[in-house]
A and B are shown apart, each in its own frame.
Chain A
Amino acid sequence: MNPSCFSHDKPSFARSRLLIAEIILFVAAVTGVHSQKILIPMDLKQADHLKAYGIAYWTLTKNVEVDWLLNYRGGSFMIDGVDLVSAECRIRGVSYELLNGAEASQIYAEVQSEGTNMDAVRLEKAPKIAVYVPPNFLPWDDAVTLAMEYAEIPYEKIWDDDVMKDKLRDYDWVHLHHEDFTGQYGKFYANFSTQPWYIEQQVMYEKKARELGFRKVSDMKKAVALKIKEYIASGGFLFSMCSATDTYDIALASLNTDICESMYDGDPADPKAQKKLDYSQCLAFENFTLEANPLRYEYSDIDLPPSDMVDMLNPETDYFTLFEFSAKYDPVPTMLTQDHANIIKGFIGQTTNFKKSLIKKNVTILAEKEGTEEVRYIHGNLGRGTFTFYGGHDPEDYRHAVGDPPTDLRLHKNSPGYRLILNNILFPAAKKKQQKT
């Protein structure tokens, strides 16, 4: 695991930039201006933005470093190893440009210039990726795995027993599938409690909980949430989407109470559960109010609009806007928001947006629906690690329901919404900050 990535302390970034500039000069001196580089543009000239991330990842697996040129043509990649990479780009359908040494140096100079909001971040090592998914998971249930499958980025699957056995430490980056960490099985009870898949899932989870020594699934999920929190604090990168965002924090807040009604865990919820919530345990949210009705398809007031009111949204006017950050001083949020579009079409999930007033003050808002309380994309630090929460289920399927067919990403090669997911995957590959001793 990368013990740490970037922090927000400006001096370290100034050092990083100096270091990169030195490297560039050194490379230029050694290889001469005639050595070629490949630029993978990430602006509108890119034929397949999603596979471009896969090329960057693949390049790292070949022990070739990649420079991520933040804010340069949509967050382009600059790579050595012309023959190898260009052939693979052609095969995977990724647009690229061949540059001679002088052209490459010119681009680096522009990116490094004080007058531009750009910077170069060196990606060094392909991060080892895990996706937390239940055993009966199908890749198309989840946008992140869909994106990784399409971009050909390898990942491993982990589940509760792996987390409890401390296997998280084997990975640099962990994605939480749209899991319900509250132990309420997605609050699908009202609509799906008689469906075989729902019954099987509940029994399967209960068996797993007993295997791991817990009487209730909700207790097991709380323990898992705590382990994940420990993983982040010790330098892990967490990326969650949809209901794995708010339910994760709700589970942490409810460590000392029972918020599940009897259909979920065999006994009623604690009538004083709301009062017993401990927001200090949460990563991103505070002061939220639980949805006490076990039959309502909603967990709390974090989600905006509530899941049972999304019909009021108009897909034609549902957009969110990415914030712009200083590439030189805030490289982390800059990396996470690299895109060829800054206004991105919305998409619904069980958790769609986060209510701004319930987001902790130390959390960075990366994207929101302008002029509203609805925040789409947030990022924060915990100890030596970071977490990123992205609302919604599938960036290219406005309303993805249970049993819907998978999204064919071949039809959405340039999806700005999916790009945000893939930014997160490359982000842990960035050069590590020098450790203070």
Chain B
Amino acid sequence: MRLRSLLLFVILAPFAAFSQSREPDIRFRLAQSYEQSGDFESASKLYEQVLAKDSTNYLVLEALHRDYIQLKKYDAAIDLVTHLLQRSPNDILWISRLGGLYNLKADDKKANAAWDRAIAVDPSHESTYRAVASSMMESRLFDRAIDIYQRGRVACKNPALFTTDVAYLYSITLNYSAATKEYLSLIRQNPVQLAFTQSRISAYIVRPDGLKAATFAVEDAVKAESGNQPFQQLLAWLYMEAKRYDRAYEIYRGLDATTNAGGHEIFNFAERAFRERGYDVAGIAYRDIITRFPKFDQIAHVKFGSARTLEESSVERDTSNRRVSVSGSRTILSPEPESSPMYAGAIAAYQAVVAEYPKTDFAARSLYRIAVLKQERFFDLDGARLALETLEKNTPSPTVLLDAKLRRGEIYLAMGNLQKAEEILTGMTNQQAIVGDQLERAALRLAELAYYQGKFPEAQSRLEKLTQNAASDITNDALRLQAFILENIAEGDSSLSLYSKGELLIVQQKLSEALTLYESLPKLFPTSTLDDEALMTVGALETAMRRYPDAIRSYSRIEGEYPESVLLDAATMNIGSLYETGLYDKPKAINTYEKILEHYPNSIFVNEARKRIRALRGDTL
């Protein structure tokens, strides 16, 4: 019996011991399970039981600390950590956490004391400051964390420590100036970090205050360290982002010299400035390359760019660039004799490109621009034609060939050589399917040509084909002319023929002749549906000739002579515009626009009239 008991004890004893050693493990797993399900109360009780048996179990300490915080049992958590620190008084991580716990308890004094204690353990090591700052960041005390990092720099005698951390903290606390200074420090330590820095700074320069603060900070740095190229690059980049091209150019010019870039820094700047419509400074940059780097590898591109900037700058300054609408899609180009000197520089620059780099794409594009300027700004049709013919003959660049042909056709039309115009335009449209802007435009011009010549069935037939493509811009123009012909064509009535002849005179800039013709139309065809339209065109021609009082009289006649006209609202709108922008008579302009609201409440001009009244009376909208 005794032997049997002894045998049983020998067999079972290991199992009992195993069971006892397994129990804490099972409790720990159960506690973890409770914790994962969000039952922190049950979890913490089990963890406490496990900890009571093994007070050194780090995993349990961590878990209990976590659960006490979840349960807002900050005192219990503090006791736990204090107990732990009795065993390991120099554990910086746990001392920092103690600071965090006191902060949660809103006991700032003890929190600060704990964090100070953590630093005192090892004040000369960077990881100390990182642990304390991390605890503060968990408590969302970002300003305090910055202070700790700064303190660490001094204590560790290394001002370069924690740069990205501090910069990031400054940026999220909206202190963009300080953030930028930190990033500058990063570049100073390692210039290769310029791109990284730009990516970080770009996050806050989308805000105007961020851009301003960053720019000031970098400007100061550049002044202090004038030889620091990455700083200069950063400043130039900030100026470009702020569209301060003049300032950016100064820096890129300097950088180009110091890096021996041979004009490439300036070229890259000029290209971006041109794309962003900084024409004046782009032009200066292009010309700088031409003067100082005559053997620049893309010099033709540079010279063409310079010419383009001259043209675009002239367009920006050309306040006389006004088109006057005639009813429908037509516009009358006001004669612009005073604009001549303005564009002369651009034309000369284009001509230089043609002379220096013949048979190149830049020469072709230059010739095309010359033609455009001569036709549209000077009405020098021969000059424009010659440029285009040279282009087609010598430099058949595919990029501008179709544009050149179309424009040459239009020029012949304006010159009155209808046969030649038709020949060129027909040549374009016969070559292939009429697809693409230039070919569709050529087809529209052919329809207009037929219309000007009074060949209305032919014009209609051509227009019909152009109205099929709903996605094309040309379709609207085609539909408008098609409807106009349909509305006004009448058997035995040649008023439409006379009217269309007048339009050809307008295309040819024979404004006085057109005026006489349109004035005569109502007398010759007193019952024509075009009489009010003719009077509208008289008003438009007088406007284009800057005879504003006459134009107002002509528009006003429509109301008296054609009270049923559908053009009454348009005529009134034009009168308002003349008072507003021609005669600068604000009260009369407002009265006229109000007349539209009162008399023509369903007019399409109502919204525009309202807008203008409110602008004229200075409403804040």
Flag whether A91 is at the interface (Cβ < 8 A). Answer: yes
B72 within 8 A of A: yes
The proximity string for B residues 196-228 relative to A, scoring 1 for CB distances below 8 Å and 0 otherwise, is: 000000011000000000000000000000000
A266 close to chain B: CB less than 8 A:
yes
Q: Which of A200, A215, A265 contacts B174 (CB 8 A)?
A: A200
Interface residue B12 (Cβ < 8 Å from any Cβ of A)? no
B204:A196 contact, CB within 8 angstroms: yes
Contacts of B140 in A (CB 8 A): 206, 265-266
Bound: A258/B69 CA distance, A: 13
Decide: A203 and B172 in contact? CB cutoff 8 A.
Answer: yes
Q: Whose C-beta in chain B lies nearest to the C-beta of A267?
A: B104
Given contacts A196-B203, A200-B174, A203-B172, contact A91 B610 (CB under 8 A): yes
B594 and A271 form a contact (CB under 8 A): no
Q: A93 contacts B606, CB within 8 Å? A: yes
User: Please, which residues of chain A bring their CB within 8 A of the CB of B184?
Assistant: none
Q: Assess whether A109 is interfacial by the CB under 8 Å rule.
A: no
B41 close to chain A: CB less than 8 A: yes
Task: Give min CB distance, B202 to chain A, whole Å.
Answer: 10
B40 to chain A, nearest CB (A): 6
Q: Is the CB of B614 within 8 A of A91?
A: yes
Contact of A92 with B610 in the complex, beta carbons under 8 Å: yes
Q: Size of chain A's interface in residues, with CB distance under 8 A?
A: 20
A267 touches B69 (CB 8 A): yes
Question: In the bound complex, what is the Cα–Cα distance between A30 and B173 (angstroms)?
Answer: 66
Interface string of B493-530 (1 = CB under 8 A from A): 00000000000000000000000000000000000000
In the assembled complex, the Cα of A265 lies from the Cα of B103 at a distance in Å of 12
CB atoms of B41 and A268 under 8 A apart: no
Secondary structure at chain B's binding surface: helix, strand, loop or mixed?
helix
Please give me the residue from chain B that is nearest to A95 by CB atom.
B601
A186-211 interface with B by 8 A CB criterion = 196, 199-200, 203-204, 206-207
Contact A203 B142, beta carbon cutoff 8 Å: yes
Question: Which residues of B (591-621) have their CB < 8 Å from a CB of A?
Answer: 594, 597-598, 601, 606-607, 610, 613-614
Could you tell me if A199 and B594 are in contact, using CB atoms closer than 8 angstroms? Answer: no
B483 in the interface (beta carbon within 8 A): no
A267 CB, min distance to chain B CBs, angstroms:
5
A87 at the interface (CB under 8 A from B): yes
The residue of chain B having its C-beta at the shortest distance from the C-beta of A93 within the complex is B610
Point out the residue from B71, B172, B598, B601 that lies within 8 Å of A271, measured CB to CB: B71
B66 closest partner in A (C-beta): A268
CA distance A229 to B512 in the complex (A): 76
Bitwise, A85-108 to B at CB < 8 A (1) or not (0) is 001001111000000000000000
Q: Are A215 and B594 in contact (CB under 8 A)?
A: no
Question: Is B174 in contact with A204, judged by CB distance below 8 angstroms?
Answer: yes
A91→B594 contact, CB < 8 A: yes
Q: Nearest chain A CB to B66's CB is how many angstroms away?
A: 10
Give residues of chain B (172-209) contacting chain A, Cβ–Cβ below 8 Å: 172-174, 203-204
Q: What does the 1/0 interface line of B16-54 toward A look like (CB < 8 Å)?
A: 000000000000000000000000110000000000000
- In the assembled complex, the Cα of A270 lies from the Cα of B70 at a distance in Å of 8
Could you tell me the distance between the alpha carbons of A318 and B71 in the complex, rounded to whole angstroms? 43
A386 to B601 Cα, complex, angstroms: 41
- Whether, in the assembled complex, B297 has its beta carbon less than 8 Å from a beta carbon of chain A, the answer is no
Q: Which of B69, B204, B597, B607 has the most CB of A within 10 A?
A: B597
B11 part of interface (Cβ distance < 8 Å): no
Interface string of B123-144 (1 = CB under 8 A from A): 0000000000000001110100
Partner of A90, one of B70, B598, B607: B598
Chain A residues within an 8 Å CB radius of B610: 91-93
- How many Å from the CB of B306 to the closest CB on chain A? 39
A409 to chain B, nearest CB (A): 13
- Choose among B172, B597, B601, B614 the residue that contacts A199 (Cβ–Cβ < 8 A): B172
Q: Is the CB of A91 within 8 A of B203?
A: no
Q: Flag if B172 contacts A215 (CB, 8 Å).
A: no
Is there a chain A Cβ closer than 8 Å to B106's Cβ?
A: yes
- Which residues on B sit within 8 Å (CB–CB) of A92? 610
The residues of B that contact A204 with a CB separation of less than 8 Å are 174
The complex places the Cα of A215 from the Cα of B141 at a distance, in Å, of 10
Taking CB as reference atom, which chain B residue is nearest A136?
Answer: B207
Contact of B172 among A200, A266, A267 (CB under 8 A): A200
A91 touches B173 (CB 8 A): no
* A271→B70 CA distance, assembly (Å): 8
Residues of A within 8 Å of B614, CB to CB, are: 91
Nearest CB on B from A63, distance (A): 20
Whether the pair A271, B138 counts as a contact (CB closer than 8 A) is: no
CB-based nearest A residue for B620: A152
Q: Give chain A nearest CB distance to B522 CB in angstroms.
A: 33
Pick the contact of A266 from B40, B138, B204 — CB < 8 Å?
B138
List B residues 574-599 near A (Cβ within 8 Å): 594, 597-598
CB distance from A224 to the nearest CB of B (A): 19
Expressed in whole angstroms, the Cα–Cα distance for A186 and B613 within the complex equals 43
Complex-state Cα separation, A267 to B69, whole angstroms: 8
What is the bound-complex CA distance between A267 and B103, given in angstroms? 10
User: With the chains together, A200 CA to B598 CA distance in Å?
Assistant: 51
Distance in angstroms between the alpha carbons of A92 and B71 in the assembled complex: 60
| A90 pairs with B594, CB closer than 8 A | yes
Please report the C-alpha to C-alpha distance between residue A258 and residue B608 in the assembled complex, in whole angstroms: 56
Minimum CB–CB distance for B183 against chain A, Å: 16
Given contacts A196-B203, A267-B72, A271-B40, are A93 and B174 in contact (CB under 8 A)? Answer: no
CA distance A226 to B92 in the complex (A): 42
Residue of A nearest to B169 (CB): A203
Give A90 to B596 CA distance when docked, in angstroms. 10
What are 7 A-B interface contacts by the 8 Å CB criterion?
Answer: A90-B597, A203-B172, A207-B174, A215-B106, A265-B140, A271-B40, A271-B70
Chain A contacts to B: CB under 8 angstroms: 87, 90-93, 196, 199-200, 203-204, 206-207, 215, 258, 265-268, 270-271
11 further A-B contacts with Cβ under 8 Å, apart from A215-B106, A267-B72, A268-B70, are: A90-B601, A91-B610, A93-B607, A196-B204, A200-B172, A200-B174, A206-B140, A265-B140, A266-B139, A266-B140, A271-B70
